[in-house]
Amino acid sequence: MNTETLIVLLTIGIGILPIIWIRRFFKNWLWGLLLCIGVFTATGAFIWHNVTSSTVSKKKLQSKSLPHPRLAGGYVSSSKCRSCHPSEYASWYHTYHRTMTQAAGPESVVGNFDKVTLKSKSHSFYLEQKDNEFWAQEIYQNPKTNQNEIGTWNQILMTTGSHQTQIYWVQGPQSNQLRIFPFAYLILKNKWVPLKDAFLKYPEQVENENLFWNFNCIQCHATAGQSRPQVRGKTDTRVGELGIACESCHGPAANHVQINQEPLHRYQNHFSKNSDSTIVNPKRESHRSSSQICGQCHGIFYILDLDHAKQHGFQYRPGDDLEKTKPTIRPKLAKWEKLLNDLEKQDPTFLSNRYWSDGMVRVGGREYNGLVESPCYQRGTMSCLSCHSMHNYQARVDQLSEGMEGDQACLDCHSSYRKQITQHTHHPENSAGSRCYNCHMPYTAYGLLKAQRSHQIDNPSVQSSVETGRPNACNLCHLDQTLDWTQRYLNQWYQIPTVNLTQDQKEISAVLLWLLRGDAGQRALAVLTMGWDVAKETSGDKWLAPFLAELLNDPYTAIRFLAGQSLWKIQEFKNLKYDSQAPPKERIDSKNKVLSIWKRAQTSKISQTGKSILIKPDGKVNRGKMLQFLSQRNDRRMDLSE
């Protein structure tokens, strides 16, 4: 029953008493009727005030706490674009860019708030939806009584993300600061997890309870954001619009809207071959300029005037030169050496949590960093729009332009390969091994519990794998093969020089080496590729279980979660009960259960044995060698900047 219905019923119910009283004491029905109406009105007003005052205050809370609309500097919001550009507006509206940041409400909140209790080592909350609002009540342990006690209610005011993971924000300590809620919702798994478990974070890292949207996410998750900290003693954050809206890519549209109010101008502009100078159309920009529009968010950048950016927003506007105000950090360029040395003094892991040692980006969402290092961009005209579109796309997930889900984007320039795919790839024409992106854009970046394609177009290289630890395309598909096997074929087919390898690199599967003794980032990529259907079809999946089982008790929660995901994709383990957040004993029990199931099934089903995959001729795992590799695991601290 909603609030309005309750008010009506209470008013009628309470109003019955004065009607009875009026009937007994008033002979003049007109006076009685007027008094009755007055009683009804007063009763209704009283109930409305008392019942809805809390609701009104809650709505005021959300309104005051969200970033204030800032329709200045020429920004008018995407709603002004809709009438003249309905199809473009509709296609943008259905992208994950629009829903990146939203005010919390029934249409935006994905997480389960149906009287759920969440628990972690440091936090416990009771979640509940009240009408159209979402609330979290803190439960804390009283240190004196050691008993759980009920704390304050926090209203969920805003959301970030709507595809893989959704993060929530509550009222911060002052003005319209938004503080992060310490749990995240994994959308594809319908599962709540402690916030840091949704990312590849060092296990002993203390949770940052004072992470504010205003000073971090606003950089890329809103349009025309201004943090505005400590203005007259308070935070007065403003945005042109929540989410990535039309003006993020096309620039401020006030002048464009004003001029195009006149129908004749719109008609002339429609048939004119000259571009409209009042707005930026990325398609009409150079490949560098159009890519920078994406790169303002999809890159690792350095803000030259940080104080100005906090108070007034970023100076960059679509069509400008991004490098003049928000340059992309490219570690291998000499001009970055001094600044990176300074950054490394402040944070010794700055580079290693973002880049492979040769400067290739290793975290997801930074595709522009990869693009600008690619020969196709540097010596050609490749841009983000060569493959992607915000409007004319095949699917919401990757927003590939229509017709670009295959090799088309590559063959448009490299047309000589069109009729000799097999001769070039040495794989069947219609196989995964003949797809350009599988070899030249392999899954070497990590973010949001998934592997992501590198956007630095390059060739498979064993030398790079040896020098940086980065997996190469060949071994990410041929899970059972060694680096030595890979370099022999690369040398035979493409005359790529060989490099010196260790005995293990000559004899043991490259993926197993990354899985068992790699750092957390390498282990995550190895686990994920073991769940890739193409790789399992190529290499078989009956031998994977005992190695994935070892990672069910990995120190990093994210890796444990991914190991469970890959195991569930193997027929024998699709019903395995496993919780990556369970206590160590339960995780070890799950590992032992996997090993027990595999031992019972493998004698009749496994078709592969061999030294490279540590499976002995009798079908048993070479456990001594596996434990040796595990003892060599690279346990350096990793907090990938996803």
- The encoded tokens of residue 438 equal 């599988």
Cβ atoms 87, 393 nearer than 8 A: no
3-state secondary structure of 355: strand
Cβ atoms 362, 445 nearer than 8 A: yes
Q: Which of residues 15, 40, 65 is at a domain's end?
A: 65
Q: Which of residues 204, 227, 251 is at a domain's end?
A: 251
**Mean pLDDT, the chain, as a whole number?**
89
Same domain membership, residue 182 and residue 33: no
- Which of 42-46, 365-369, 415-419, 508-512 has the weakest average pLDDT? 42-46
Instruction: Check pLDDT > 50 for residue 42.
Output: yes
Q: Could you give the CA distance from residue 540 to residue 509 in angstroms, rounded to a whole number?
A: 13
pTM: 0.89
Assigned domain for 335 exists: no
What is the identity of the amino acid at 485?
A: W
* pLDDT at residue number 263: 78
> 404-451: per-residue pLDDT in tens?
988 998 999 999 999 999 999 999 999 999 999 999 999 999 999 999
Assigned domain for 228 exists: yes
Q: What pLDDT band is residue 489 in, cutting at 50, 70 and 90? A: very high
Q: How far apart are the first and last CA of the chain?
A: 43
**Number of domain units in the chain:** 3
Assigned domain for 627 exists: yes
Q: Could you give the CA distance from residue 434 to residue 123 in angstroms, rounded to a whole number?
A: 49
> 547-576: per-residue pLDDT in tens?
999 999 999 999 999 999 999 999 999 999
> 377-412: per-residue pLDDT in tens?
999 999 999 999 999 998 888 999 998 988 998 999
Same domain membership, residue 562 and residue 584: yes
Q: Which residue in 520, 514, 528, 515 sits closest to 469, CA to CA?
A: 514
* pLDDT at residue number 33: 59
* pLDDT at residue number 30: 60
* pLDDT at residue number 44: 54
Q: What percent of the chain has pLDDT over 90?
A: 76
Higher pLDDT, 244 or 73: 244
* pLDDT at residue number 609: 74
* pLDDT at residue number 271: 67
Mean pLDDT of 225-234: 83
Query: Does an H or E element contain 171, and which?
Result: strand 165-171
* pLDDT at residue number 27: 54
Same domain membership, residue 32 and residue 22: yes
Instruction: Check pLDDT > 90 for residue 128.
Output: yes
> 299-326: per-residue pLDDT in tens?
999 999 999 999 999 999 999 999 999 9
Higher pLDDT, 53 or 225: 225
Q: What pLDDT band is residue 370 in, cutting at 50, 70 and 90? A: very high
Q: What pLDDT band is residue 216 in, cutting at 50, 70 and 90? A: confident
Q: Could you give the CA distance from residue 251 to residue 75 in angstroms, rounded to a whole number?
A: 8
Mean pLDDT of 99-104: 97
CB within 8 Å of 534: residues ≥ 6 apart: 432, 438, 477
- CB atoms closer than 10 angstroms to residue 180: 22
Mean pLDDT of 226-241: 87
Same domain membership, residue 160 and residue 61: no
Instruction: Check pLDDT > 80 for residue 543.
Output: yes
Instruction: Tell me the pairing of strands 238-239 and 68-69.
Output: parallel
Same domain membership, residue 231 and residue 201: yes
What totals of helices (H) and strands (E) does the chain contain, helices first? Answer: 26, 15
Q: Which of residues 15, 44, 65 is at a domain's end?
A: 65
